[in-house]
Structure 1
Amino acid sequence: MSAHCQLTGAQPGFGNNSRYVRLKLSAKAIKTVDTIGVEAAVARIRARGVKV
């Protein structure tokens, strides 16, 4: 499975840039979580059909 951000769907440009955490988020997605909150971010992820 390729590395990608669960919130924005962005993929790294090159290399192994994935982190093994509960949610794999890009820097932009972390800023989005800070803005809209964790609950709203998880709701967006679940709306896309991803199991969290």
Structure 2
Amino acid sequence: MQIFFSLLLSSCVLFFLSLCFYTQQEKMKTKENGYYVHNCKNRINNHK
């Protein structure tokens, strides 16, 4: 049961990371890119 839970947690983290990088790629050409990257890091830290 614990193994299943840890797998679920790691897949959630991977999902947020990929979502993050996708958003970063989409916003790469805008002047607000630094803001999005910073927001992304905060989002990852909140899910730890």
Q: Give the TM-score of the pair, scaled to structure 2.
A: 0.34
Q: Whose RCO is larger (CA < 8 A, sep 6+)?
A: 2
Q: Give the TM-score of the pair, scaled to structure 1.
A: 0.33
* Greater gyration radius: 2
More helix by share: 2
